Structure 1
Amino acid sequence: MSPEVGPPRVGLGCAQLGNLYTAMSDETALACVETAWDAGVRYFDTAPHYGLGLSERRLGAALRGRPRDAFTVSTKVGRLLERNLHPTGRDTEGFEVPDDLVRRWDFSAAGITASVAGSQERLGLDRIDILLAHDPDLRPATHAQFLAEGAPALEALRAVGRVGAVGVGTNSAEAAYEYVTSADLDVVMIAGRFNLLDHSALDGLLDECARRGISVVNVGAFASGVLANPTPSAASHFRYELASPEVLARVSAIAGVCAAFGTTLPRVALAFAASHPAVASVTLGASRPEHVRRNVQLAASPQPPAGVWGALAEAGLLDAEVVERLRLGSPG
């Protein structure tokens, strides 16, 4: 395993640069990256999946001319981009882009090598700092192919220096645990499974990563958006869908406790997301430069008052065992 492969503490997630849900201009995409850079962010995460390569192209253009050793980029493999022989006009997987390309699941050694070459071309980079298998657990066939072919292929690319570090990105804490105990990984990106509303990554994964020296990139600190503002709105999302009335009521109650302690829901959400020692980066997406600036300022602001954690537990809004395990509110 390579030493010191973990990315910096705050990262910019670049799915929005691929026109996630809604289109943004090239100028806005550039401004998001420049704002992050000016705020001190040096870790950027992207993937071919994000806008059928648009996110990688925009990120590469924004980083062009920056000192190569001054930043860390992660991208992903598993969805190989190929020419679409039957385009309908628009992508059908959540990105506002033309469907001139199509994704093909492929975790074979040949597929991974081809994917890396495509990503390097789009990014304009001579090397990939962190290469992650993207959602191999979503299908039984890709899960099996990743374990049999994909993981050894990643390790081989690392061995010859094509990539700096290797790992997996997934929404499933259970699948991630299987991968870290079956392959020689450096990094795990876990999405939506370690935040104020979902602690499932605590059930083995994070402690195992800490034991093995595997860096964790925590994505989804705001639980798809419902934790992103001081008070949630009816339009807030949770797990990529509109939040239910039950979730909104719970989050509103959490926000009330935060306000009583002179802090805010997003600040407490970020503090929680970074609270496990295995977490090397809390990586946040943003669709506007002002959102990037706000996120970085939130992450850099003082820690929430220690008493907020006990108050949340006492109100039944945060598991008391979780508070104790993470030593939230404890000195040091």
Structure 2
Amino acid sequence: MPSPTHPWYAERVPLGRSGVTVSRIGLGTAPLGGLFSAVGGRQADDTLEAAWAAGIRYFDTAPHYGAGLAERRLGAFLTGIGHPRSQCTVSTKVGRLLMPGDSTPGDEAFHGEPGLFRIHDYSADGVYRSLAESLERSGLDAFDVVLIHDPDDHWEEAVTGAYPALDRLRAEGAIRAIGAGMNQTAMLTRFVTETDLDCVLVAGRYSLLDRSAADELLPACAKREVGVLVGGVFNSGILANLAPDATYDYAPAPEAVRRHALALGERCAAYGVALAAAALRFPLRHPAVTGVVVGARSAQEITVNVAHATATIPEELWAALDALERDGR
């Protein structure tokens, strides 16, 4: 068994062929940018400190998260005393530029920096500007991994503008690994098969509720030795909290999804396992998956996530959950 000072989830593993390593569980900073509700500065610092103390050494952020607030908070933490930058891996994203102008609390679901709004820009110039602004905002001297963020309606610009720009920066040594991060699998699979990515971050599409990434994306990544980071393991809430107002993919959960989640919860309860623990651990059972990225908005949530990560889950439960999937829910 791993020792308390070296838990399994803090193990550093290679991210594809890039030479970059990440902890098996990483911290997603969208909640620290005020996703769904505001988070105070002290609470954000306490969350980051709890993650560091727990051994988490991979941190994912983006300009989108709170209109720069998450990048600012993460950078301030990592440039502070006691958090050596050389001991962790940090990713950010490109594809959205922040512009001065009217914004309101809850803009794009974030309660972040006021007076800024987002525009999509997947051009090469947009990439260079975005990274320069992210470095200035965070105070960091470099990012290890840079991801093309949500180019769903912008494939041509992303593949002819953003990707070549990131490829050039990687060749120059300015960044160590490049990838794409999306809530869908089809375009990520295109990126994997048509470009030379080091990794993908797939959100919500390889979970107990949605295993669609296993159809084409994960096999393609395995074949090309592309690292796979899985986000959205709770599908934006429902697999962590089966409350009547639970959310799925950032919206109220449809009744069919809610019924499926309840059935999953019942199977887990029969084995004395929290549904959230099974949800967090599920993606890591696939050999193509490098790690999972889990968001948190408080030190208490870090504690809960660590407890889920270290819970004992019998193989019989995985078989029962797989059977539920095969039986069509």
Q: Please, what TM-score do these two structures have when normalized by structure 1?
A: 0.89
User: Which deviations, in whole Å up to 9, do the C-alpha atoms of 1:212-247 show, x marking residues without a partner?
Assistant: 111111001111111114xx1102111111122322
Q: Which residue matches 1:290?
A: 300
Q: Which residue matches 1:191?
A: 203
- Which among 54, 69, 79 is matched to residue 86 of structure 2? 69
What amino acid does structure 2 have at the position aligned with 1:93?
A: E
What amino acid does structure 1 have at the position aligned with 2:35?
A: L
- Which among 228, 244, 250 is matched to residue 260 of structure 2? 250
- Which among 248, 259, 262 is matched to residue 269 of structure 2? 259
Q: Structure 2: 5+ residue runs without aligned partners?
A: 1-15
Return the alpha-carbon distance in structure 2 between the equivalents of residues 90 and 24 of structure 1. Answer: 12
RMSD: 1.7
Q: Which residue matches 2:10?
A: none
What amino acid does structure 2 have at the position aligned with 1:101?
A: L
Q: Does 1:275 align with 2:248?
A: no
Q: Does 1:112 align with 2:127?
A: yes
Cα deviation, residue 8, structure 1: 1.4
Q: Does 1:174 align with 2:186?
A: yes
Cα deviation, residue 178, structure 1: 0.4
> How do 1:98-109 and structure 2 match up within 5 A?
98-109=113-124
Q: Which residue matches 2:48?
A: 33
User: Which deviations, in whole Å up to 9, do the C-alpha atoms of 1:55-102 show, x marking residues without a partner?
Assistant: 000111111232121011100000011222xx2544521111354122
Any conservation in 1 of the 2:69–2:113 contact (CA below 8 Å)?
Answer: no
Q: Describe the shift of the 1:53–1:88 C-alpha distance in structure 2 as closer, same or farther (beyond 3 A).
A: closer
Q: Which residue matches 1:319?
A: 326
Name the SS for the 1:273 alignment partner: helix
Q: Which residue matches 1:306?
A: 315
Q: Please, what TM-score do these two structures have when normalized by structure 2?
A: 0.90
Q: More deviation in 12-21 or 261-270?
A: 261-270
Among all aligned residue pairs of Structure 1 and Structure 2, give the percentage whose two residues are the same amino acid: 44
How many residues align? The count is: 311
Return the alpha-carbon distance in structure 2 between the equivalents of residues 241 and 212 of structure 1. Answer: 34
Q: Which residue matches 1:155?
A: 167
Name the SS for the 1:287 alignment partner: coil
Q: More deviation in 218-227 or 256-265?
A: 256-265
Name the SS for the 2:122 alignment partner: coil
Return the alpha-carbon distance in structure 2 between the equivalents of residues 210 and 320 of structure 1. Answer: 27
Cα deviation, residue 248, structure 1: 2.1
Any conservation in 1 of the 2:17–2:225 contact (CA below 8 Å)?
Answer: no
Return the alpha-carbon distance in structure 2 between the equivalents of residues 259 and 102 of structure 1. Answer: 44
Cα deviation, residue 26, structure 1: 0.2
Name the SS for the 1:59 alignment partner: helix
Return the alpha-carbon distance in structure 2 between the equivalents of residues 268 and 103 of structure 1. Answer: 35
Q: Structure 1: 5+ residue runs without aligned partners?
A: 322-332
Q: Does 1:3 align with 2:30?
A: no
Name the SS for the 1:318 alignment partner: helix
Q: Which residue matches 2:3?
A: none
Cα deviation, residue 264, structure 1: 2.0
Cα deviation, residue 207, structure 1: 1.1
What amino acid does structure 2 have at the position aligned with 1:145?
A: E
User: Which deviations, in whole Å up to 9, do the C-alpha atoms of 1:111-137 show, x marking residues without a partner?
Assistant: 101110111111111111100000012
